[in-house]
Amino acid sequence: MEAKKISDMDEREDSAAGMKHDGFIRRKGMLVVISGFSGAGKGTLMKELIKNYDNYSLSISATTRQPRPGETDGKEYFFVSKERFEEMIRNDELLEYARYVDNYYGTPKAYVESEMEKGKDVILEIEIQGALKIRAKYPDSVLIFIITPSAKELISRLRHRGTESDEVIRKRLERAKLEAVGVEAYDYILINDNLDKTVKHLNYLIQDQHMRASQQLEFLEEFQKELGTVI
């Protein structure tokens, strides 16, 4: 399936894009996977989305690495032992996981499903391989890829960070080149060229997914029953 490209400078009216559909039933939240090249601004987008809208929950990963100064268990990460993490793998308690520099990182299934049951749309920020694993387990999940308006802009943002060497930037760009091959597997591509408008478009895009027929089976069933009483 070809990903749909959405620029945050799209001219559709905000009132139409963000309209509420009060008749629809929203019992459960959905799983939203956000990915993007390093430097595309996805981290900042997530922070602004959570700050401006109260219907989202950021997924918290489990990891075997040691907490850094200021980090709290259950806030930045769920810090667990290697033995406990491997037990979680064996018991299918993770949506996805990976190992980096001798440490495990993964997404606990129980936390995500608990938040969704509360009606929260759970945001999961992971790379492409993990996103495809999520899609396999949750076919109704929404995959959104954040991208800059151009490769030139991506390079400019990485350099203006001022925190990485030219060698690190080169490696990030090499990885972006590899990742670009798999972006077509996503549902949507969101171009981040204006933070405020991109946050609004991201919210509209996610909320519109609740209008999909597969998300409104309970509403349709009640509607059909009501028809049966008036005919």
- pTM (global) more than 0.85: no
Domain locations in the chain as residue ranges: 4-55+119-230, 60-118
pLDDT single digits (tens) 136-179: 888 989 999 999 998 888 888 888 876 778 888 888 788 888 77
Instruction: Measure the CA dihedral 98/100/104/109, to 10°.
Output: -30
pLDDT score, position 201:
94
Place of tokens 């996981």: 97
Which CATH code fits 60-118? 3.30.63.10
What is 4-55+119-230's CATH topology?
Rossmann fold (3.40.50)
Interior CA angle at 90 toward 81 and 120, to 5°? 80
pLDDT score, position 11:
44
Burial category of 98 from C-beta neighbours within 10 Å (exposed 0-12, middle 13-18, buried 19 and up): middle
18 pLDDT tier (thresholds 50, 70, 90): very low
Q: Give me the mean pLDDT over the 31-44 stretch.
A: 90
pLDDT single digits (tens) 73-112: 998 899 999 999 999 999 999 999 988 778 999 999 999 9
Contact criterion met (CB below 8 Å) for 32 and 183: no
Nearest C-alpha neighbor of 108 from the set 131, 142, 129, 85: 85
| DSSP state, residue 150 | -
Residues of the chain above pLDDT 90, percent: 45
pLDDT score, position 49:
95
12 pLDDT tier (thresholds 50, 70, 90): very low
Q: Does the pLDDT value for residue 15 go beyond 50?
A: no
Tokens at residue 206, please?
Answer: 């996610």
* Residue-averaged pLDDT of the chain: 84
Q: What whole-number distance in Å separates Cα of residue 136 and Cα of residue 133?
A: 5
